[in-house]
Amino acid sequence: MKEIKLQTTIRLAQSEELSEEDRLLVQRAIEATASSYSPYSHFAVGAALRLTDGTIVIGSNQENAAFPSGLCAERTAIFAAGATHPDQAVTTLAIAARNEAGLTAEPVSPCGACRQVILEVEQRYKCPVRILLYGTNGVYIINSVRELLPLCFVDESMR
Ligand code: THU
Protein backbone atom coordinates (compact mmCIF):
# COMPACT_ATOMS: atom_id res chain seq x y z
CA MET A 1 0.00 0.00 0.00
CA LYS A 2 1.28 3.43 -0.88
CA GLU A 3 1.06 6.41 1.45
CA ILE A 4 0.23 9.76 -0.12
CA LYS A 5 1.10 12.88 1.84
CA LEU A 6 -0.82 16.06 1.09
CA GLN A 7 0.97 19.33 1.79
CA THR A 8 -0.44 22.71 2.67
CA THR A 9 1.52 25.93 2.53
CA ILE A 10 0.50 28.90 4.66
CA ARG A 11 2.58 31.99 5.41
CA LEU A 12 2.35 33.88 8.69
CA ALA A 13 2.90 37.64 8.47
CA GLN A 14 2.70 40.52 10.86
CA SER A 15 0.38 43.33 9.72
CA GLU A 16 3.39 45.59 8.95
CA GLU A 17 4.67 43.00 6.48
CA LEU A 18 1.50 43.12 4.36
CA SER A 19 1.27 45.25 1.23
CA GLU A 20 -0.80 48.41 1.57
CA GLU A 21 -3.60 46.78 -0.48
CA ASP A 22 -3.72 43.70 1.75
CA ARG A 23 -3.56 45.80 4.93
CA LEU A 24 -6.52 47.86 3.72
CA LEU A 25 -8.52 44.72 2.90
CA VAL A 26 -7.83 43.27 6.36
CA GLN A 27 -8.89 46.59 7.89
CA ARG A 28 -12.17 46.42 5.94
CA ALA A 29 -12.75 42.87 7.21
CA ILE A 30 -12.17 44.03 10.79
CA GLU A 31 -14.60 46.93 10.25
CA ALA A 32 -17.16 44.55 8.71
CA THR A 33 -17.45 42.69 12.04
CA ALA A 34 -19.46 45.74 13.18
CA SER A 35 -22.37 44.80 10.89
CA SER A 36 -22.49 41.18 12.07
CA TYR A 37 -25.91 40.05 13.30
CA SER A 38 -24.89 37.38 15.80
CA PRO A 39 -27.22 37.47 18.84
CA TYR A 40 -26.92 33.67 19.24
CA SER A 41 -23.19 32.97 18.98
CA HIS A 42 -21.94 36.43 20.01
CA PHE A 43 -19.18 35.76 17.51
CA ALA A 44 -18.90 38.51 14.93
CA VAL A 45 -17.13 37.63 11.68
CA GLY A 46 -16.22 40.13 8.98
CA ALA A 47 -15.11 39.43 5.42
CA ALA A 48 -13.84 41.77 2.74
CA LEU A 49 -12.98 40.73 -0.78
CA ARG A 50 -11.22 42.53 -3.59
CA LEU A 51 -12.36 42.12 -7.19
CA THR A 52 -10.12 42.36 -10.27
CA ASP A 53 -11.19 45.99 -10.86
CA GLY A 54 -10.20 46.88 -7.28
CA THR A 55 -13.74 47.07 -5.91
CA ILE A 56 -14.03 45.89 -2.30
CA VAL A 57 -17.18 44.03 -1.22
CA ILE A 58 -17.81 43.25 2.43
CA GLY A 59 -19.88 40.71 4.31
CA SER A 60 -20.56 39.70 7.89
CA ASN A 61 -22.25 36.72 9.50
CA GLN A 62 -26.04 36.98 9.66
CA GLU A 63 -27.70 34.61 12.12
CA ASN A 64 -31.27 33.42 12.51
CA ALA A 65 -33.32 31.84 15.31
CA ALA A 66 -33.63 28.86 12.96
CA PHE A 67 -29.87 28.32 13.07
CA PRO A 68 -29.19 26.78 9.62
CA SER A 69 -30.93 29.74 7.99
CA GLY A 70 -28.07 32.05 8.94
CA LEU A 71 -25.03 32.64 6.75
CA CYS A 72 -21.29 33.02 7.34
CA ALA A 73 -19.49 36.29 6.61
CA GLU A 74 -17.49 34.79 3.73
CA ARG A 75 -20.52 33.57 1.81
CA THR A 76 -22.41 36.80 2.51
CA ALA A 77 -19.57 38.72 0.83
CA ILE A 78 -19.07 36.24 -2.03
CA PHE A 79 -22.76 36.04 -2.90
CA ALA A 80 -23.11 39.84 -2.71
CA ALA A 81 -20.15 40.17 -5.10
CA GLY A 82 -21.66 37.55 -7.43
CA ALA A 83 -24.97 39.42 -7.44
CA THR A 84 -23.57 42.90 -7.95
CA HIS A 85 -20.35 42.29 -9.96
CA PRO A 86 -20.86 38.99 -11.81
CA ASP A 87 -18.13 39.80 -14.36
CA GLN A 88 -15.36 40.29 -11.82
CA ALA A 89 -13.14 37.61 -10.32
CA VAL A 90 -12.30 37.66 -6.63
CA THR A 91 -8.55 38.08 -6.19
CA THR A 92 -8.26 38.28 -2.39
CA LEU A 93 -10.55 37.56 0.55
CA ALA A 94 -9.77 38.78 4.08
CA ILE A 95 -11.48 37.46 7.22
CA ALA A 96 -11.46 38.76 10.79
CA ALA A 97 -13.51 37.83 13.85
CA ARG A 98 -14.40 39.23 17.22
CA ASN A 99 -15.59 37.34 20.30
CA GLU A 100 -16.83 38.93 23.51
CA ALA A 101 -13.20 39.68 24.50
CA GLY A 102 -12.40 41.48 21.24
CA LEU A 103 -10.61 40.55 18.02
CA THR A 104 -9.42 36.95 18.09
CA ALA A 105 -5.72 36.36 18.74
CA GLU A 106 -5.63 33.43 16.33
CA PRO A 107 -6.92 33.68 12.76
CA VAL A 108 -10.37 32.20 12.14
CA SER A 109 -10.47 29.85 9.19
CA PRO A 110 -13.47 29.51 6.84
CA CYS A 111 -15.85 26.62 7.55
CA GLY A 112 -16.11 23.70 5.13
CA ALA A 113 -19.17 25.07 3.33
CA CYS A 114 -17.45 28.43 2.77
CA ARG A 115 -14.31 26.69 1.48
CA GLN A 116 -16.42 24.85 -1.07
CA VAL A 117 -18.06 28.13 -2.17
CA ILE A 118 -14.67 29.88 -2.47
CA LEU A 119 -13.49 26.92 -4.57
CA GLU A 120 -16.43 27.39 -6.95
CA VAL A 121 -15.43 31.06 -7.34
CA GLU A 122 -11.88 29.99 -8.25
CA GLN A 123 -13.24 27.53 -10.80
CA ARG A 124 -15.80 29.94 -12.23
CA TYR A 125 -13.35 32.80 -12.83
CA LYS A 126 -10.23 30.64 -13.33
CA CYS A 127 -8.43 32.76 -10.78
CA PRO A 128 -7.04 31.66 -7.41
CA VAL A 129 -8.49 33.49 -4.42
CA ARG A 130 -5.76 34.61 -2.00
CA ILE A 131 -7.03 34.34 1.56
CA LEU A 132 -5.89 36.55 4.43
CA LEU A 133 -6.90 35.30 7.88
CA TYR A 134 -6.46 37.95 10.53
CA GLY A 135 -5.62 37.40 14.18
CA THR A 136 -4.02 39.91 16.53
CA ASN A 137 -1.03 37.50 16.73
CA GLY A 138 -0.53 37.59 12.97
CA VAL A 139 -2.08 37.08 9.56
CA TYR A 140 -2.13 33.80 7.65
CA ILE A 141 -1.64 34.24 3.93
CA ILE A 142 -2.97 31.40 1.78
CA ASN A 143 -2.52 31.48 -1.99
CA SER A 144 -5.58 29.45 -2.94
CA VAL A 145 -8.49 27.79 -1.15
CA ARG A 146 -7.10 24.53 -2.54
CA GLU A 147 -4.49 24.74 0.22
CA LEU A 148 -7.39 24.42 2.69
CA LEU A 149 -9.34 21.84 0.72
CA PRO A 150 -7.22 18.88 -0.33
CA LEU A 151 -8.89 16.24 -2.52
CA CYS A 152 -11.58 18.76 -3.35
CA PHE A 153 -14.74 18.07 -5.34
CA VAL A 154 -15.18 20.24 -8.43
CA ASP A 155 -17.29 20.00 -11.58
CA GLU A 156 -14.54 18.02 -13.40
CA SER A 157 -14.81 15.39 -10.69
CA MET A 158 -18.10 14.33 -12.33
CA ARG A 159 -16.53 13.72 -15.77
N1 THU B 1 -18.87 32.00 11.04
C2 THU B 1 -18.52 32.76 9.97
O3 THU B 1 -19.19 33.74 9.64
N4 THU B 1 -17.40 32.43 9.30
C5 THU B 1 -16.54 31.44 9.66
O6 THU B 1 -15.53 31.25 8.98
C7 THU B 1 -16.83 30.61 10.82
C8 THU B 1 -18.16 30.82 11.45
C9 THU B 1 -20.05 32.38 11.80
C10 THU B 1 -21.26 31.49 11.68
C11 THU B 1 -21.98 31.82 12.96
O12 THU B 1 -22.76 32.97 12.77
C13 THU B 1 -20.89 32.15 13.95
O14 THU B 1 -19.73 32.43 13.17
C15 THU B 1 -20.59 31.06 14.93
O16 THU B 1 -20.36 29.85 14.29
Q: Among all residues, which ones are annotated catalytic? A: 74
Residue 156 lies in a domain: no
Predicted pLDDT at 67: 96
How sure is the predictor about 132, in pLDDT bands with cuts at 50, 70 and 90? very high
At 98, which CATH number?
3.40.140.10
Residue 151 lies in a domain: no
Domain region containing 24: 11-138
Cβ neighbours of residue 31 closer than 8 Å, sequence gap 6 or more: 46, 48, 58
CA of 85 to the centre of ligand 1 (A): 24
> What is the spatial distance between Cα 72 and Cα 43, in angstroms, rounded to a whole number?
11
pLDDT in tens, 34-81: 999 999 999 999 999 999 999 999 999 999 999 999 999 999 999 999
78 lines ligand 1 (CB under 6 A): no
- Residue whose CA is at the smallest distance from ligand 1 atom 16: 41
